[in-house]
Structure 1
Amino acid sequence: MIKEIIVVEGKDDTTAIKRAVVADTIETGGSAINREILERIRLAQERRGVIVFTDPDHAGERIRKIISSKVPGCKHAFLPQELAERRGDIGVENASTESIRMALNNVKTEYEGAVSQLTWEDLIEAGLIVHPDAAARRLAVGKKLGIGYCNGKQFYKRCAAFQISREEFEAALELIPPPER
């Protein structure tokens, strides 16, 4: 049984989660997340903790950002898009039970007001921003770090919020080719 309540987008996500693990969920009802749902998430965070587990797409990232801004200290589970896709549809409901368990075993805790061990210049040097292949490189490094895909500014914020150490960052970089200059 997972102690925290898992926040998902819809009923099909709840079904997939419950096939993989024993857990309680809160469904946001999609991207139209309202005050009542946010209040339930806030209460769940206070009493049991929350794991945000949204789809690895634009709408899922939007929901994740809304929850993070309104309910500090949540944990986050990330699925790579390729593990959440079936017939062109991307979502947690399409992931295998093994993929769901893997994501939940690698949750990241968000620390509000955390200071990054990394600098903006570190990201430039690594070719993760201001580089022709930056998006693909962020995708690969984000996958290795377990923080998902996002744009450069959000990647930097996630590294701080999830307290990604310089050692973790450098180890993830070693697994991809160096940036071509």
Structure 2
Amino acid sequence: MNIREIIVVEGKDDTVAIKRAVQADTIETNGSALSKETLRVIKRAHETRGVIVFTDPDYPGRRIRALIEQAIPDVKHAFLPKKEAIAKNGSGVGIEHATNEAIQQALRHVYTPEERPANRFTNQHLLNAKLLGHPDAAARRERLGDILQIGYTNGKQLLKRLDAFRVTEEEWQHALQALEQEETR
């Protein structure tokens, strides 16, 4: 699998994992302290070849993703479910722990946010789906993010991401059905 865009990752171990799974160039942010120089390099890469942000499914990864998206609103995103990023010994979470297949799967489902989301989804959608105001809401949002491959978010960010990544009503319904089926097992 050959990736044209440059993939933004957090560190050297992530680069090794990406290059093991696909043919691609990477830019490393060197952790969650995203420097102005690194952001400048990412912007230049975005202008010339395009960029896919592929950070760890944890708080620092989400923070880096948000900073890059704030600077480059139309940047592409790939998401790895947290369960695919956990070290075998349980000692950490990161892209570097993922299998080649999991990395390839995430890179097959790259999203580009829409500049002006349609705001098709509302808080009522989330309430009806027990994704807000329910004791299991956070866990359900995490699984929904995995199913839709849009990553974990809080409720407010989920609404933005559903619209920004143009999730259709059909995809929404399919994801909710998959979530319900998982819970009845």
Tell me which interval the TM-score lies in, with the shorter structure as reference length: over 0.9
1:149 to 152, 155, 159: 152
Asked whether 1:81 is paired with 2:52, we answer no
Provide the C-alpha distance between the structure 2 equivalents of 1:46 and 1:7, rounded to a whole number of angstroms: 14
After TM superposition, the structure 1 = structure 2 runs for residues 84-103 of structure 1, keeping only pairs within 5 Å, are 84-86=85-87, 87=89, 88-103=91-106
Equivalent residue, structure 1, for 2:111: 108
Count of equivalent residues: 179
- What is the SS of the residue equivalent to 2:179? coil
Equivalent residue, structure 1, for 2:54: 53
State the Cα deviation string for residues 13-53 of structure 1 (Å, max 9, x = none): 00110000010101001100011111111111111111000
Amino acid of the residue matched to residue 15 of structure 1? V
* Comparing 17-26 and 118-127, the one that deviates more: 118-127
**CA-CA distance at 1:4 after TM superposition:** 0.5
Which structure 2 residue ranges, 5 or more long, are not aligned? none
Amino acid of the residue matched to residue 164 of structure 2? A
- What is the SS of the residue equivalent to 1:89? coil
Equivalent residue, structure 2, for 1:136: 139
- What is the SS of the residue equivalent to 1:79? coil
Provide the C-alpha distance between the structure 2 equivalents of 1:115 and 1:31, rounded to a whole number of angstroms: 31
Identity of aligned residues (%): 53
Runs (4+) of structure 1 exceeding 3 A deviation are: none
2:179 to 169, 176, 179: 176
User: Please, what TM-score do these two structures have when normalized by structure 1?
Assistant: 0.95
Please give the root-mean-square deviation of Cα atoms over the aligned residues, in Å: 1.4
User: Please, what TM-score do these two structures have when normalized by structure 2?
Assistant: 0.93
**CA-CA distance at 1:108 after TM superposition:** 1.2
- What is the SS of the residue equivalent to 2:7? strand
Amino acid of the residue matched to residue 104 of structure 1? L
State the Cα deviation string for residues 109-147 of structure 1 (Å, max 9, x = none): 112231232112111111111111111111121111110
Amino acid of the residue matched to residue 156 of structure 2? K
Amino acid of the residue matched to residue 71 of structure 1? I
Equivalent residue, structure 1, for 2:72: 71
Provide the C-alpha distance between the structure 1 equivalents of 2:175 and 2:144, rounded to a whole number of angstroms: 6
Which structure 1 residue ranges, 5 or more long, are not aligned? none
Provide the C-alpha distance between the structure 2 equivalents of 1:98 and 1:82, rounded to a whole number of angstroms: 13
Equivalent residue, structure 1, for 2:16: 15
Equivalent residue, structure 2, for 1:159: 162
- What is the SS of the residue equivalent to 1:7? strand
Amino acid of the residue matched to residue 130 of structure 1? G
Provide the C-alpha distance between the structure 2 equivalents of 1:177 and 1:12, rounded to a whole number of angstroms: 36
**CA-CA distance at 1:157 after TM superposition:** 1.1
Amino acid of the residue matched to residue 89 of structure 1? G
